[in-house]
């Protein structure tokens, strides 16, 4: 059996990190979380991951700035923006993300997007 795909969730909401960690672990992924963009970038320096799920609105460095930093150092790393705010889709800086999924209580779209990217 191949090695588990690794996902990094970067979101300042602890409950979102816990929920996504549980959901994607149940689907067979290895999941780590970071509660800020800064900590997420530190985590990416320490460990290799196959995919990042990134929130936009966070205190300190926001997800758009973090996305720019991720792409500048690891431009082949898929990043899914996972935000409650659809208007950020209009911001050209978010267009470099692999995908943009609006947060909702239903995780079907996010799960499908992750599956499509990691298991083409």
Is there a domain that residue 41 lies in? yes
Would you write out the chain's pLDDT as a tens digit for each of its 120 residues?
468 999 999 999 999 999 999 999 999 999 999 999 999 999 999 999 999 999 999 999 999 999 999 999 998 999 999 999 888 788 777 788 999 999 998 999 999 999 999 988
The count of structural domains within the chain is: 1
Containing domain of residue 17, as a range? 6-118
* Contact (CB, 8 A) for 20 and 105: no
CATH of residue 87's domain is 3.40.50.2300
Does residue 1 belong to any structural domain of this protein?
no
For 52, 55, 80, 107, the CA distances from 102, given in Å and listed in that order, are: 15, 10, 10, 10
Take residue 100 and report the two structure tokens written for it: 């943009």
């Amino acid at each position: 059996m191949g090695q588990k795909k690794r996902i990094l969730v970067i979101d300042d909401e602890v409950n979102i990190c816990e929920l996504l960690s549980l959901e994607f672990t149940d689907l067979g992924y290895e999941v780590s979380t970071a509660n800020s963009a800064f900590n997420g970038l530190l985590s990416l320096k320490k460990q290799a991951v196959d995919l990042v799920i990134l929130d936009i609105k966070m205190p300190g460095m926001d997800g758009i700035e973090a996305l720019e930093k991720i792409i500048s150092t690891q431009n082949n790393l898929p990043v899914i923006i996972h935000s409650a705010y659809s208007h950020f889709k209009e911001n050209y800086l978010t267009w470099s993300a692999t995908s943009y999924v609006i947060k909702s209580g239903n995780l079907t779209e996010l799960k499908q997007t992750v599956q499509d990217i990691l298991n083409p």
